[in-house]
């Protein structure tokens, strides 16, 4: 037997999948229990070990996830796998191309096809959640980890729509793990605000709770749309 799908994703530490679900696949013999699943034969390279347990590789795990979770969960798991350097986009494209009829592979194929070419992985699950929320708000895909020049040097923004001069910073769940980190982040924000706001940028900052709590998520969407309109007006009033 081998751990696969959500169990494998949890063992690999992929975002979006809660631990506690046990999913096992039979790799030989007959699956006599309803809790076991008999997929097509695994290739040797598709089986690894995590904490002494046999588990599907990160690549095969992402391919199989589409059988049991939706597209947004797959994207969260994908971005974290890329962040951890467990997989590469090229290897995943090859993997889904090799199993065109495998149930669930189409979901990963769709996520990969819509991912901006050459985009870096998101730097936290919160950033992936922000991307998904921005799409639901009807916003075009922002640039990730965008570097904006200022009088104090280049500042790297989590997300930006440069043509509209809209900048977004995301505080992940563990961003302020210490008082020192919190103070350092506030100092950086002050320098950033004094540098880009006078240049006509709209600057927004969202926390983990803003993104996951339905009470606040609607406000995030409203603020994004408001900033987008401000940026649109500024762009139209700028002389050519």
* 79 and 149 both lie in a single domain: no
Q: How many domains does the chain have?
A: 2
Please check whether residue 119 lies inside any domain of the structure: no
Give pLDDT, residue 148: 84
**Per-residue CA distances from 63 to 22, 99, 155, 157, 197 (Å):** 18, 9, 36, 31, 43
Structural domain containing residue 140: 125-237
Q: Are both 64 and 36 inside the same structural domain?
A: yes
Enumerate the β-bridge partners of residue 150: 153
Same domain, residue pair 89 and 129? no
| Chain centre to alpha carbon of residue 52 | 28
pTM of the model: 0.84
Place 234 in a pLDDT band, splitting at 50, 70 and 90: low
Are 86 and 15 in a shared domain? yes
For the ranges 83-87, 147-151, 153-157, the one whose mean pLDDT is highest: 83-87
CATH code of the domain containing 143: 3.40.960.10
| Number of Cβ within a 10 Å radius of residue 204 | 18
Q: Which of 82, 114, 146 is the last residue of a domain?
A: 114
Of 84, 114, 144, the position where a domain reaches its end is 114
Same domain, 169 and 219: yes
Q: Give the β-pairing of 47-50 and 53-56.
A: antiparallel
Give the C-alpha separation, 128 to 115, whole Å.
12
- Position 175 in a domain: yes
Q: According to the model, what pLDDT value does residue 158 have?
A: 93
**Considering 114, 138, 172, which residue would you say is the last residue of a domain?**
114
């Amino acid at each position: 037997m081998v751990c696969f799908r959500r169990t494998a994703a949890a063992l690999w530490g992929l975002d979006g999948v809660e631990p506690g679900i046990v999913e096992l696949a039979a790799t030989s013999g007959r699956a006599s229990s309803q809790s076991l699943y008999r997929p097509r034969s695994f290739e040797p390279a598709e089986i690894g070990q995590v904490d002494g347990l046999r588990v599907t590789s990160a690549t095969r795990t992402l391919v199989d996830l589409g059988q049991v979770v939706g597209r947004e969960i797959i994207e969260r798991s994908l971005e974290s796998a890329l962040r951890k350097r467990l997989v590469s986009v090229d290897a995943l494209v090859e993997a889904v191309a090799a199993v065109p009829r495998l149930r669930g592979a189409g979901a990963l194929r769709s996520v990969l096809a819509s991912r901006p070419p050459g985009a870096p992985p998101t730097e936290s699950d919160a950033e992936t959640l922000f991307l998904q929320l921005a799409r639901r708000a009807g916003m075009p895909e922002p640039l990730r980890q965008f570097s904006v020049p200022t009088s104090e040097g280049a500042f790297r923004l989590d997300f930006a729509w440069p043509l509209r001069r809209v900048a977004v910073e995301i505080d992940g769940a563990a961003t302020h793990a210490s008082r020192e980190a919190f103070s350092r982040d506030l100092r950086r924000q002050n320098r950033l605000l004094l540098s880009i706001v006078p240049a006509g940028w709209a600057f927004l900052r969202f926390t983990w709770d803003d993104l996951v709590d339905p009470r606040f998520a609607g406000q995030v969407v409203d603020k994004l749309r408001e900033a987008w309109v401000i940026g649109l007006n500024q762009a139209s009033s700028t002389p050519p």
